């Protein structure tokens, strides 16, 4: 099979300004092409004021390359990268809620925690919440293990990923600034001031 047209998981990392509406601008690039976003995370990055999107899609390299260029074309996007799973270190976090009565009666909780590298983050008389981080297979395993004992709720976070080869974005950003020095970008300074804006 062709490496360029074969579908596989790609993790797209996007560095952006922190601007209202940008999530939508990025999202419509996928939806316009009928590409399903498997996982999406937004967070601060290593650079203050710069946001970092981590997006996972199941697509071919050809398609991902084009999509990434479209993302990079957006005015408020500084840089976008895409990587295969081999090129990144990634984690997802999962939470599991089980009924205390059931789980303490039937399972050796201590063994369970050790075996799956889980932690108990909340222990109450009526329920317990476990937490694990890892790849999908790992968080799935604990879900399977807990299913017979009345798993009441399960939730998994989006993927967060670090690019192995990347030397970080900070230096690059300084480079951009050095090459094309100019005034500070206009941030939306009214962000978070909804109250005052709305009472005018």
List interacting residues with another protein (CB under 8 A).
16-17, 20-21, 24-25, 28, 32, 65-66, 69-70, 72-73, 75-78, 176-177, 180-186, 190, 197-200
Min. distance of Cβ 8 from another protein in angstroms? 20
For 17-22, the CB contacts below 8 A with 24+ separation are 17/49, 17/50, 17/51, 17/76, 17/77, 17/78, 17/185, 17/187, 18/49, 18/50, 18/51, 18/187, 18/188, 18/191, 19/76, 19/187, 19/188, 20/188, 20/191, 22/51, 22/74, 22/76, 22/77
Q: Supply the minimum distance, in Å, between the C-beta of residue 66 and another protein.
A: 6
Tokens linked to 174: 């300084």
How far is residue 16's CA from residue 52's CA, in Å, rounded to a whole number? 6
Select 22 or 88, whichever has its Cβ closest to another protein: 22
Minimum CB separation of residue 110 from another protein in Å reads 50
What is the smallest separation between the CB atom of 170 and another protein, expressed in angstroms? 14
**Which lies closer to another protein via its Cβ, residue 72 or residue 87?**
72
CA-to-CA distance for 188 and 126, rounded, in angstroms? Answer: 45
Nearest to another protein of 21, 111 (CB atom): 21
Query: Is the Cβ of residue 61 or residue 136 nearer to another protein in the bound state?
Result: 61
């Amino acid at each position: 099979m062709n490496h360029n047209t074969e579908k596989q998981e790609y993790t797209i990392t996007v560095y952006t300004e922190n601007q209202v509406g940008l999530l939508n601008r990025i999202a419509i690039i996928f939806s316009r092409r009928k590409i399903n976003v498997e996982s999406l995370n937004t967070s601060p990055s290593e650079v203050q004021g710069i946001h970092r999107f981590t997006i996972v899609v199941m697509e071919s390299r050809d398609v991902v390359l084009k999509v990434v260029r479209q993302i990079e074309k957006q005015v408020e996007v500084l840089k976008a990268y895409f990587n295969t799973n081999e090129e990144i270190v990634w984690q997802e976090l999962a939470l599991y809620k089980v009924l205390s009565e059931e789980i303490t009666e039937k399972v050796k909780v201590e063994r369970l925690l050790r075996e799956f590298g889980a932690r108990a983050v909340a222990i109450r008389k009526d329920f317990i919440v476990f937490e694990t981080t890892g790849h999908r297979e790992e968080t799935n395993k604990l879900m399977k293990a807990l299913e017979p004992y009345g798993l009441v709720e399960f939730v998994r976070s989006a993927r967060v990923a670090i690019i192995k080869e990347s030397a970080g974005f900070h230096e690059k950003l300084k480079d951009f600034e050095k090459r094309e020095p100019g005034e500070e970008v206009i941030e939306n300074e009214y962000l978070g001031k909804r109250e005052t804006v709305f009472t005018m």
